[in-house]
Amino acid sequence: MSEANRHHLGIDFGTANSFLAIATEGHLSATPIDFGQDELRSIVLYRKGESGDETVIAFGQQAEHEWGMATPDEKRLLRLASQFKADIASDDETPRKDAESFLRCVANDLTQRGVLPSGKKPSEIPVLIGTPANAMAGFDETLDRVARDAGLGAVELVKEPIGALISHLSRHEFSARDARGGLLVIDFGGGTCDVAYMLRLEVREAWGDPILGGRLFDDLFYQWFCDENPDAAQVMARDGDSYYVHWVRCREMKERFSETLARDRQAAFRYAVPPYGRLGDATWEQFLERARDYTPSPSFREELGRLGPAYHQLTSGGAVDLVAWVQGVIGRGIADGKIRVDDVSFVILTGGSSAWPFVRETVAEALQIPPDKILSSASPRRAIGEGVALLPVLKKRYEQIIREIKDECPGKVEEILREVQHIAGVFLDELAAELSGRFIGLIEPPLSAFRKTGGRLSDLEAKITAQGATLDRVAAELVQKRSPELAAKMNQRIRDILAPWFESKHIHWTPESIPLSPAGPDRMSGPRVPVDDLCMTGLTTITSTVMAVVLGTLCGGAGTAWVVAGPVGWIVGGVLGVILTVAVAWGGRRYAEETTKSIPIPAKLAWLALRKISYDKIRKDMEIQLLKDFRPKLYSQQADLRRHVEQITRAQIDDIGALDQL
């Protein structure tokens, strides 16, 4: 089989139900494996031998059917096992045996029916199994061993929250862009309550309770049913149906109750379990009253006692508040300071028991998060199995895209550099023209006054030089005013280059995802410009570098020092040249030397000197000088600019999780 057509089997091995799906590399969808219906009951039916040994005769829905069809005498020779997955790491060996029997039945069934690609056995293709993010000590090692012994081969364990997240993304229930923020995945299933805080596909924090699960509510409904039907327990025991009603029929009762009351909290619920009775007109208020004062039934407490001290909270004999227990587990990460409410962008509810209305209400209350940010899977029992099957498919695509981006990165960097330099150059052309015009406006009054009244040449020089200091402030104000325009143009052009490139790689890219570089505003020279106002995205690392050059050029070239060396020299030198020429013509060299010292200059001579001064030439020379100073400085920053562009690309490479490919 070619690499491109490899298949992966994903298994969500659940306490109440299991789900299996096949994913094919190159296709971002998983195909459920049908066992009569998509989900498979996690149940095994044994026949007892005379020597005490047991033989598996059915599993899943067929086990339920066979038990239901058996007579009371036949049931004495049978054992129905369920709820075993949650307890495989306990002190009791029986749950491990039942889990192995169930998974072996699954593996044999897949092989016998030939439902896997090319008729292969499960041990001949990659198998991934979901595991809680916060499992009981030793759970993962035990599950790995049980799966291997059952014939599933070298399995890979995948944290269940990762599977849930991938499933939601693959179904487009929210976007990969949304998933870049912190996600809280709450998996309240049949055996455990598991909470994981995730950034992209990484579980950053996990907490929960490995003994808090839906089966406690199964037991609650069993007791409720027995209270409503006082003779039922005795009759069930006589018929050998106590376990079956307790863990199969009362689980179904609980699920129907949850679904009904989730739609209408005021509804009265009814459910019949022939021939033992019915639960009639059960209300939400009655449920809460029982849930807040729950004590395990005697048979359940005895079963839990065999599992070990980890279950002491339920076997100690005292009543527990199940609702408060769930609320405490969900809110524990925030109470303990593991995460902040502000870090959570979305909450994903998965697992069959997450359908309970109080779970959603608990999340909303604890996190103060809007209802539209709390997401429930349309098929919560399928989510994890689909997701774990898709994980290796996404990893493969991820690796290919990373290679492509690295190969194409240098060309994109050079393209962005050219565009940035062009935009900065055009921008400075415009600024230079505006600034030179402002300078002419500043020096025109003292020149006009000198032309009319004459005066000391040193006074004229001082007045023009003083305008250079004013020009410093004008330049800074001008850059401050115009810098958002430069930032917007650069950012937009960079987006125009990067967006189609990243989108062509199926990367859901946003400028906000680009980190702000340390080589940003704090490195700018010259008067402080409020670059923080410009920093709407991380792209301003590039803008900041260019702005530093622009500001440094304007305020270092058109400010006081430059004015003294430039325009003051042009104007005063020009005036002095005229005065010397006239003085020589009128009175000879000696007179000229005396005249240069005998300032003030007469008005007529001042007018004669200044009539040849060209404002247009001053303006043009100033623009040329500004650009002459600017371009080498910008080119000297190419290394910084290149580093910033490369940082953007590296950030995307680091940030491409499998979720970016959906």
Least confident of 59-68, 164-173, 534-543, 614-623: 534-543
Topology agreement, domain 1-154 and domain 173-378: yes
pLDDT band (50, 70, 90) for residue 577: low
For residue 12, report the phi and psi dihedrals to the nearest 5 degrees.
-100, 95
Least confident range from 137-146, 237-246, 538-547, 559-568: namely 538-547
pLDDT exceeds cutoff 90 at 358 = no
- pLDDT bucket at 361, cuts 50 / 70 / 90: confident
* pLDDT for residue 555 is more than 60: no
Confidence band for 535, pLDDT divided at 50, 70 and 90: very low
d(CA 373, CA 376): 10
Encode 298-323: b = buried (16+ Cβ within 10 Å), e = exposed: eebbebbeebeebbeebbeeeebebb
Q: Which of 109-113, 206-210, 500-504, 561-565 has the highest mean pLDDT?
A: 109-113
pLDDT at 176: 61
The mean pLDDT value for 372-380 works out to 77
Mean pLDDT of 486-490: 77
* pLDDT bucket at 631, cuts 50 / 70 / 90: low
Is residue 568 predicted with pLDDT exceeding 80?
no
Residue 213 sits at φ, ψ, to 5 deg, of: -155, 180
- CATH 1.10.3720.10 applies to domain 173-378: no
Q: What is the pLDDT of residue 220?
A: 97
Q: Is the pLDDT of residue 120 over 60?
A: yes
What pLDDT is attached to residue 458? Answer: 73
Taken in order 419, 422, 423, 424, the sign of the CA dihedral is: positive
Backbone dihedral region for residue 274 (phi beyond 0: left; psi -120 to 50: alpha; all else: beta):
beta
**Which pLDDT score, from 0 to 100, does residue 109 have?**
95
Average pLDDT over residues 599-619: 71
Label residue 40 by pLDDT band (50, 70, 90). very high
Q: 464 or 163: which carries more pLDDT confidence?
A: 163
pLDDT confidence of residue 569 = 52
- Using alpha carbons only, what angle is made at residue 39 by residues 34 and 41, rounded to the nearest 5 degrees? 115
Read off the pLDDT of residues 641-659 as tens digits, 9 standing for 90 and up. Answer: 677 767 766 766 665 554 5
Q: Is the pLDDT of residue 533 over 60?
A: no
Task: Compare 241 and 366 and report the one with higher pLDDT.
Answer: 241
Three-class SS state of 370: coil
Looking at per-residue pLDDT, the higher value among 67 and 419 belongs to: 67
Assess whether pLDDT exceeds 90 at residue 366. Answer: no
Tokens of 62: 């067929």
Selected residue with higher pLDDT from 638 and 341:
341
Range with the poorest average pLDDT among 162-176, 224-238, 394-408, 551-565: 551-565
pLDDT of residue 292: 95
* Better pLDDT: 468 or 594: 468
Distance of CA 362 to the CA centre of its chain: 23
Residue tagged 């005769």 (tokens) = 57
Lowest pLDDT segment from 264-278, 428-442, 532-546: 532-546
**pLDDT tens for residues 125-152?**
999 999 988 888 899 999 999 999 999 9
Pair 388, 12: CB distance under 8 Å: yes
pLDDT at residue 85, rounded to an integer? 94
**What is the DSSP annotation of 463-522?**
HHHHHHHHHHHHHHHHHHHHHHHHHHHHHHHHHHHHHHHHHHTT----GGGSPPPSSSGG
What is the C-alpha to C-alpha distance for residues 177 and 172, in angstroms, rounded to an integer?
Answer: 11
Name the least confident of 120-134, 381-395, 456-470.
456-470
Mean of the per-residue pLDDT values for the chain? 79
User: What are the strands of the beta sheet with 43-48, ordered from one edge?
Assistant: 54-59, 43-48, 78-82
234, two tokens: 């005795």
Please state the rounded mean pLDDT for residues 462-472: 74
Is the preceding peptide bond at 210 cis, omega within 30 degrees of 0?
Answer: no
Q: What is the DSSP letter of 246?
A: I
Would you say residue 554 has pLDDT above 60? no
In the DSSP assignment, the letter for residue 249 is I
Q: What is the pLDDT of residue 595?
A: 52
Top mean-pLDDT range of 45-49, 153-157, 392-396:
45-49
Q: Which are the contacts of 107, defined by CB distance < 8 A and separation ≥ 6?
A: 121, 122, 123, 150, 151, 152
Domain 1-154: CATH class, spelled out: alpha beta
The segment with the largest mean pLDDT, out of 21-25, 82-86, 102-106, 630-634, is 102-106
The pLDDT assigned to 531 comes to 25
Give the tens place of pLDDT for each residue, 398-418: 778 878 888 888 888 888 888
Q: Where are the domains of the chain?
A: 1-154, 173-378, 400-563+616-661
pTM > 0.75 = no
195-223 pLDDT tens trace? 999 876 778 889 988 888 899 999 999 99
Higher confidence at residue 24 or residue 376?
A: 24
Q: Are 253 and 271 in contact (CB under 8 A)?
A: yes
**Residue 256, both tokens:** 């129907």
- pLDDT reported for residue 557: 42
d(CA 115, CA 647): 47
Q: Which residue has the higher pLDDT, 321 or 601?
A: 321
